[in-house]
């Protein structure tokens, strides 16, 4: 079977060896504010915080060919005209064979290290996707080009370190062109409002000389950075993107070559590429020279042109920095003071040592590095157009030496060493280990950062952060950087309404709820309990519950976070339908089961169409199960708060002197438990279909997901949630439902969402039946909900079954990469199901709740290492063939080395536990006492 790459676990990399992957296989750069998506050929884009409102570079989704546009390098090697030493002249064809294989007088060889966009056949190619970095290496005719792409920590810029190495025995003269295309900030209007866009584009070009100009100084701390009077960094050539800067924007972007001199540049796309060429053959590259174009409207780009000579064996590094900066309103523009050149004005003629480029008459380089138009300002007229570049200069100076770049890269790698050292497993199964120790955790960080906003399937212009999505994502991430999870919980809760309902999504930049979609998704509130409890169990930080959090971000409406949890719980209790099951509202977890929608208009979106919930009888068994599961967490939390003196004290503080916090929490726990018990009874009575749990009741009160239905007889969500919640465990319901999942939903590639698939449109069910059979929510293998059933299997103590389901959707077990199509190192949202035309074909990779859920599943339910309010609970549910494994787990200030032994080949059940050599009770949590501990568990 054809493979396109392999795992390099030691370096925590996936190595792609064939650039023509079945789909672009991407990676993510950055993990805090500045982000990039990068494919294995260098495609993709960058943005700051919000992929819609602050798109920095342009990208065209669904282009032909696929994945066109990105950060590109073109390398051009001229064929020598005369036969070099050792070369021969072929008399029959006037061509001269150079030793490198280039043909004399023939067209130059033009190639790209990532194969694309030139697609010149390479002599070697390799792409290594690592933890927030990507290294792409290509070679051609004895020259190797290797580019390392990453975003340094706490930096609003992507750094690209290009290393050119001459591996041949002869001198190489190369021409290097960099390339990136600017997006006009708003990624949505950038692709539609051309009547405006094609007139607004503006750039600045800055070229600082290599030697210190008169009045300039040399910064001794960074040997290569010479401060020119304007603050520009010596030697750097920087192209600034400043569209709309003179009006309401206070941000700009830049692309700098920081450590070498560029001999030219381009900033206008048409001048560089040509109207009838494309990314693969830009006319400037074809001609072997830049046009030094200055963009005015149309499409601004940034390209550097560098001439490089390499002796045999020689290697040279070129550092490019693609950054973003924001200026305070009063400091937006260059001021006269900072512009004052040595004599108070910049010379009009080319300064000594500098040249005037005749082809670009407007770019006259002053010693300060000011260019063309900028000179006007330099001369004193304060027109409000020239960017104050202080911030860019600082970043450019910081990354102007290879040493500094390497150190920043090292820092990034160390951060990942730290993040990935909190939970590691050694099981003897390399697939399991690589998922747990590397890729599953990495994907959890990515889903935490991006929710469902920006991938090669999510265009970045649609959804922002989802209420339910983000709560689920943080459960997979909380052990990595708890403080960021804490802030996220507060941000999410701030979009709630006083009745416990909430906005379904919010924009990351503004943190405000998104009015286009609004609220009314009745599962949403429960997820806040799920996320918050996971945070507290990880950190022991109960103080988060005392945080004052507003409703709908309105100042003055603040109540404690605990109160937000209470109203979340009650939102379900207050919205019950005719069977006393939870009303579904617009939709529950399955956005496509639209029971109150009734849409016949193809021009409306199922997501935002009118909500006809008024008078509806539509109820959800998925929410019922979710309510029981998260409700139990809420009860457990209340009981814990009742026991804790700080919990009681906080209650007293919030409710006045004399109030008895402990009693109040216990009362609340009892009340909540009563609601849960009632729900359990209702599910048993009205939610059981004989062999599995029903899925829902529709608007009219008819069953959905029942053997009585013509199609869609069984659904996975209610099986997952009701088995996880253990509803009817004692009556055999859980086992039966799990068996039905195997019988009706399972196939070679995982469990499908529903069965049989819908073959026609059902207006009373909405979008689910809009999809062709086997795809997406209509009987696709929606990976997100497979782990729910797997956890259900562990509730039923069926370790072998849990394991089998786990390995079916786990990337490390993918057999046929060509069929699977998307990245073999991360989960995808959906794999085409058994009813599809091509079962097993994956789609929507990266941004899926599958990452967090599988992390939870494998670490807490299969390996069974579970944080509790007091410490760790150990409860493995594993395949009987797994005889032992070791887990290293950092929890708060405690560090555990846990050895689990399974001498009798059991699937679950612990016989004994020793902590630091002493026997401890099996069903008590191991306290997270600061320091190192060893734990031995015998099953």
State whether the Cα torsion 918-924-930-935 is positive or negative.
positive
Residue 67 near residue 24 (C-beta atoms within 8 A): yes
Determine which helix (DSSP H) or strand (DSSP E) holds 845, and give its type and residue range. strand 842-845
Is 466 one of the binding residues for ligand GLC (CB under 6 A)?
yes
Question: CA-CA distance, 429 to 247, in Å (whole number)?
Answer: 59
Is 591 one of the binding residues for ligand GLC (CB under 6 A)?
yes
The CB-of-456 to ligand GLC minimum distance in angstroms stands at 15
Question: CA-CA distance, 170 to 469, in Å (whole number)?
Answer: 57
The CB-of-522 to ligand GLC minimum distance in angstroms stands at 13
**Binding residue for ligand GLC, selected from 590, 609, 630, 769, defined by CB under 6 A:** 590
Question: CA-CA distance, 521 to 48, in Å (whole number)?
Answer: 29
Which range in 253-261, 270-278, 541-549, 586-594 contacts ligand GLC by CB under 6 A? 586-594
Question: CA-CA distance, 520 to 523, in Å (whole number)?
Answer: 9
Cβ nearer to ligand GLC, comparing 587 with 638:
587
Question: CA-CA distance, 795 to 389, in Å (whole number)?
Answer: 59
| Annotated catalytic residue within 591, 689, 698, 875 | 591
Residue 312 DSSP label: T
Is 589 one of the binding residues for ligand GLC (CB under 6 A)?
yes
Ranges within 846-905 binding ligand GLC (CB under 6 A): 848
**Binding residue for ligand GLC, selected from 668, 777, 875, 907, defined by CB under 6 A:** 777
Number of residues lying near ligand GLC (CB under 6 A)? 15
Query: Which residues make beta-bridge pairs with 204?
Result: 240
The CB-of-468 to ligand GLC minimum distance in angstroms stands at 5
Which range in 157-165, 426-434, 462-470, 626-634 contacts ligand GLC by CB under 6 A? 462-470
467-477 and 482-493 helices, crossing angle to 10°: 160
- Return the closest-CA partner of residue 472 out of 528, 519, 424: 528
Strands (E) across 581-732 are located at 619-620, 696-697, 703-704, 714-715
**Binding residue for ligand GLC, selected from 46, 202, 735, 767, defined by CB under 6 A:** 767
Is 468 one of the binding residues for ligand GLC (CB under 6 A)?
yes
The CB-of-756 to ligand GLC minimum distance in angstroms stands at 19
**Binding residue for ligand GLC, selected from 607, 616, 755, 786, defined by CB under 6 A:** 607
Cβ nearer to ligand GLC, comparing 517 with 887:
517
The CB-of-759 to ligand GLC minimum distance in angstroms stands at 18
Which range in 21-29, 45-53, 236-244, 590-598 contacts ligand GLC by CB under 6 A? 590-598
Q: Report the residue closest to ligand GLC, judged by CB.
A: 591
Cβ nearer to ligand GLC, comparing 375 with 714:
714
Binding letters toward ligand GLC, positions 406-445, x by CB under 6 A: ----------------------------------------
Question: CA-CA distance, 425 to 293, in Å (whole number)?
Answer: 55
Contacts of 858 (CB under 8 A, 6+ apart): 432, 435, 436, 440, 806
**Binding residue for ligand GLC, selected from 446, 592, 623, 650, defined by CB under 6 A:** 592
The CB-of-776 to ligand GLC minimum distance in angstroms stands at 5
Cβ nearer to ligand GLC, comparing 327 with 594:
594
Cβ nearer to ligand GLC, comparing 377 with 470:
470
| Three-state secondary structure call for residue 321 | strand
CA dihedral of residues 370, 372, 374, 379 (deg, nearest 10):
90
Q: How far apart are the first and last CA of the chain?
A: 39
Which range in 295-303, 465-473, 703-711, 793-801 contacts ligand GLC by CB under 6 A? 465-473
The CB-of-495 to ligand GLC minimum distance in angstroms stands at 15
Ranges within 86-125 binding ligand GLC (CB under 6 A): none
The CB-of-467 to ligand GLC minimum distance in angstroms stands at 9
Cβ nearer to ligand GLC, comparing 201 with 466:
466
Query: Cα angle at 777 between 772 and 780, to 5 degrees?
Result: 70
Determine which helix (DSSP H) or strand (DSSP E) holds 881, and give its type and residue range. none
Is 754 one of the binding residues for ligand GLC (CB under 6 A)?
no
The CB-of-788 to ligand GLC minimum distance in angstroms stands at 12
Backbone dihedral angles phi then psi of residue 908, each to the nearest 5 degrees:
-165, 175
Cβ nearer to ligand GLC, comparing 263 with 854:
854
Quick one: how far is CA 759 from the chain centroid?
Answer: 34
Question: CA-CA distance, 37 to 902, in Å (whole number)?
Answer: 43
Residue 666 near residue 674 (C-beta atoms within 8 A): no
Is 524 one of the binding residues for ligand GLC (CB under 6 A)?
no
C-alpha gyration radius of the chain: 30
The CB-of-749 to ligand GLC minimum distance in angstroms stands at 18
Cβ nearer to ligand GLC, comparing 357 with 469:
469
Residue 455 near residue 469 (C-beta atoms within 8 A): no
Cβ nearer to ligand GLC, comparing 431 with 843:
843
Cβ nearer to ligand GLC, comparing 304 with 784:
784
Cβ nearer to ligand GLC, comparing 253 with 592:
592
Cβ nearer to ligand GLC, comparing 365 with 473:
473
Strands (E) across 752-818 are located at 754-755, 781-782
Is 21 one of the binding residues for ligand GLC (CB under 6 A)?
no
Query: Cα angle at 828 between 822 and 834, to 5 degrees?
Result: 90
Cβ nearer to ligand GLC, comparing 59 with 771:
771
Is 502 one of the binding residues for ligand GLC (CB under 6 A)?
no
Question: CA-CA distance, 710 to 885, in Å (whole number)?
Answer: 47
C-beta pairs of 271-278 under 8 Å, 24+ apart in sequence: 272/179, 272/301, 272/303, 278/68, 278/117
Ranges within 799-838 binding ligand GLC (CB under 6 A): 829
- Return the closest-CA partner of residue 306 out of 268, 256, 260: 260
Quick one: how far is CA 814 from the chain centroid?
Answer: 22
733-740 and 786-795 helices, crossing angle to 10°: 140
Is 776 one of the binding residues for ligand GLC (CB under 6 A)?
yes
Which range in 306-314, 376-384, 478-486, 583-591 contacts ligand GLC by CB under 6 A? 583-591
**Binding residue for ligand GLC, selected from 202, 266, 334, 469, defined by CB under 6 A:** 469
The CB-of-544 to ligand GLC minimum distance in angstroms stands at 24
Which range in 148-156, 199-207, 584-592, 879-887 contacts ligand GLC by CB under 6 A? 584-592
Tokens representing residue 363 in the block: 């770019």
Is 180 one of the binding residues for ligand GLC (CB under 6 A)?
no
CA dihedral of residues 492, 493, 494, 497 (deg, nearest 10):
120
Question: CA-CA distance, 169 to 166, in Å (whole number)?
Answer: 8
Tokens representing residue 420 in the block: 């990935």
Is 299 one of the binding residues for ligand GLC (CB under 6 A)?
no
Binding letters toward ligand GLC, positions 136-165, x by CB under 6 A: ------------------------------
Is 746 one of the binding residues for ligand GLC (CB under 6 A)?
no
The CB-of-668 to ligand GLC minimum distance in angstroms stands at 29
Is 786 one of the binding residues for ligand GLC (CB under 6 A)?
no
- Return the closest-CA partner of residue 471 out of 566, 568, 542: 568
Residue 369 near residue 202 (C-beta atoms within 8 A): no
Query: Is position 591 annotated as part of the catalytic site?
Result: yes
- Catalytic residue set: 591
Site residues for ligand GLC per CB under 6 A? 452, 466, 468-469, 589-592, 607, 767, 776-777, 784, 829, 848
């Amino acid at each position: 079977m054809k493979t396109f790459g392999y795992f390099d676990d030691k370096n925590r990399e996936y190595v792609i060896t064939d650039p023509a992957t079945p789909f672009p296989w991407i990676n993510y750069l950055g993990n805090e504010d500045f982000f990039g998506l990068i494919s294995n050929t260098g495609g993709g884009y960058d943005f700051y915080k919000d992929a819609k409102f602050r798109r920095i570079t342009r990208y065209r989704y669904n282009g032909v060919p696929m994945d066109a546009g990105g950060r590109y390098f073109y390398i051009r090697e001229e064929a020598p005209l005369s036969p070099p030493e050792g070369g021969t002249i072929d008399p029959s064809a006037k061509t001269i064979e150079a030793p490198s294989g280039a043909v004399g007088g023939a067209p130059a060889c033009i190639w790209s290290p990532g194969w694309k966009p030139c697609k010149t056949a390479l002599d070697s190619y390799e792409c290594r996707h690592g933890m927030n970095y990507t290294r792409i290496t290509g070679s051609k005719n004895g020259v190797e080009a290797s580019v390392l792409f990453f975003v340094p920590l706490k930096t609003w810029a992507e750094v690209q370190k290009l290393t050119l190495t001459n591996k041949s025995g002869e001198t190489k003269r190369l021409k290097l062109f960099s390339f990136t295309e600017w997006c006009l900030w708003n990624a949505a209007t950038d692709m539609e409002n051309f009547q405006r866009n094609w007139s607004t584009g503006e750039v600045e070009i800055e070229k600082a000389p290599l030697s210190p100009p008169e009045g300039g100084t040399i910064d001794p701390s960074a040997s290569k950075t010479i401060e020119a009077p304007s603050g520009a960094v010596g030697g750097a050539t920087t192209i600034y993107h400043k569209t709309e800067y003179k009006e309401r924007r206070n941000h700009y972007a830049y692309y700098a070559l920081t450590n070498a001199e560029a001999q030219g540049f381009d900033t206008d796309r048409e001048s560089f590429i040509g109207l009838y060429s494309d990314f693969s053959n830009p006319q400037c590259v074809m001609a072997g020279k830049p046009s030094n174009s200055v963009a005015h409207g149309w499409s601004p780009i940034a390209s550097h042109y560098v001439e490089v000579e390499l002796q045999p064996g020689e290697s040279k590094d070129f550092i490019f920095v693609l950054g973003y900066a924001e200026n305070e309103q009063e400091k937006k523009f260059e001021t006269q003071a900072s512009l004052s050149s040595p004599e108070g004005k910049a010379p009009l003629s080319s300064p000594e040592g500098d040249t005037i480029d005749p082809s670009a008459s407007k770019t006259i380089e002053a010693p300060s590095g000011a260019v063309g138009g900028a000179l006007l300002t330099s001369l004193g007229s304060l027109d409000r157009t020239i960017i104050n570049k202080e911030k860019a200069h600082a970043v450019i100076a910081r990354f102007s030496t290879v040493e500094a770049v390497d150190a920043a890269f090292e820092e990034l790698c160390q951060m990942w060493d730290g993040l990935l050292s909190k939970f590691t497993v050694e099981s003897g199964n390399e697939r399991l280990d690589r998922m747990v120790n590397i890729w599953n955790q990495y994907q959890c960080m990515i889903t935490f950062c991006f929710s469902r906003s920006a991938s090669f399937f999510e265009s970045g212009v649609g959804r922002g952060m989802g209420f339910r999505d983000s709560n689920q994502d943080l459960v997979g991430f909380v052990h990595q950087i708890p403080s960021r999870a804490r802030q996220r919980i507060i941000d999410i809760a701030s979009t709630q309404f006083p009745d416990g309902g909430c906005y379904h999504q919010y924009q990351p930049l503004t943190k405000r709820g998104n009015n286009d979609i609004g609220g009314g998704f009745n599962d949403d509130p429960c997820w806040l309990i799920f996320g918050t409890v996971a945070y507290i169990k990880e950190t022991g930080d109960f103080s988060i519950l005392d945080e004052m959090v507003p409703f709908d971000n309105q100042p003055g409406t603040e109540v404690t976070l605990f109160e937000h949890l209470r109203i979340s719980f009650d939102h379900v209790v207050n919205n019950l339908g005719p069977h006393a099951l939870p009303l579904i509202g617009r939709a529950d977890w399955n956005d496509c089961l639209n029971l109150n929608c009734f849409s016949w208009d193809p021009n409306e979106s199922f997501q935002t169409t009118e909500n006809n919930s008024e008078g509806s009888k539509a109820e959800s068994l998925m929410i019922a199960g979710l309510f029981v599961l998260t409700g139990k967490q809420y009860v457990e939390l209340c009981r814990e708060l009742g026991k804790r003196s700080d919990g009681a004290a906080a209650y007293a503080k919030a409710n006045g002197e004399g109030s008895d916090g402990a009693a109040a929490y216990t009362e609340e726990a009892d009340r909540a438990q009563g609601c849960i018990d009632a729900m359990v009874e209702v599910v048993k009575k009205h939610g059981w279909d004989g062999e599995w749990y029903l899925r829902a009741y529709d608007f009219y009160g008819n069953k959905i997901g029942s053997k009585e239905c013509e199609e869609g007889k069984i659904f996975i969500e209610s099986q997952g949630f009701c088995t996880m919640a253990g509803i009817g465990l004692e009556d055999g319901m859980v086992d039966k439902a799990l068996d039905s999942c195997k019988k009706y939903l399972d196939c070679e590639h995982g469990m499908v969402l529903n069965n049989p698939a819908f073959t026609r449109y059902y207006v009373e069910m909405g979008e689910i039946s809009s999809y062709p059979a086997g795809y997406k929510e209509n009987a696709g293998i929606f990976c997100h909900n497979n782990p729910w059933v797997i956890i259900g299997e562990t509730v039923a103590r069926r370790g072998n079954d849990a394991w089998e389901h786990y390995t079916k959707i786990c990337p490390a077990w993918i057999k046929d990469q060509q069929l699977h199509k998307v990245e073999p190192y991360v989960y995808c949202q959906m794999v085409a199901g058994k009813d599809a035309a091509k079962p097993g074909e994956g789609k929507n990779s990266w941004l899926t709740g599958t990452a967090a859920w599988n992390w939870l599943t494998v670490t807490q339910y299969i390996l069974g290492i579970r944080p509790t309010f007091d410490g760790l609970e150990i409860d493995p549910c594993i395949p009987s063939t797994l005889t032992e494994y070791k887990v290293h787990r950092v929890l708060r200030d405690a560090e555990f080395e846990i050895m689990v032994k399974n001498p009798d080949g059991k699937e679950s059940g612990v016989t004994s536990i020793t902590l630091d050599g002493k026997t401890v009770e099996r069903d008590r949590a191991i306290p997270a006492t600061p320091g190192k501990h060893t734990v031995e568990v015998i099953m």
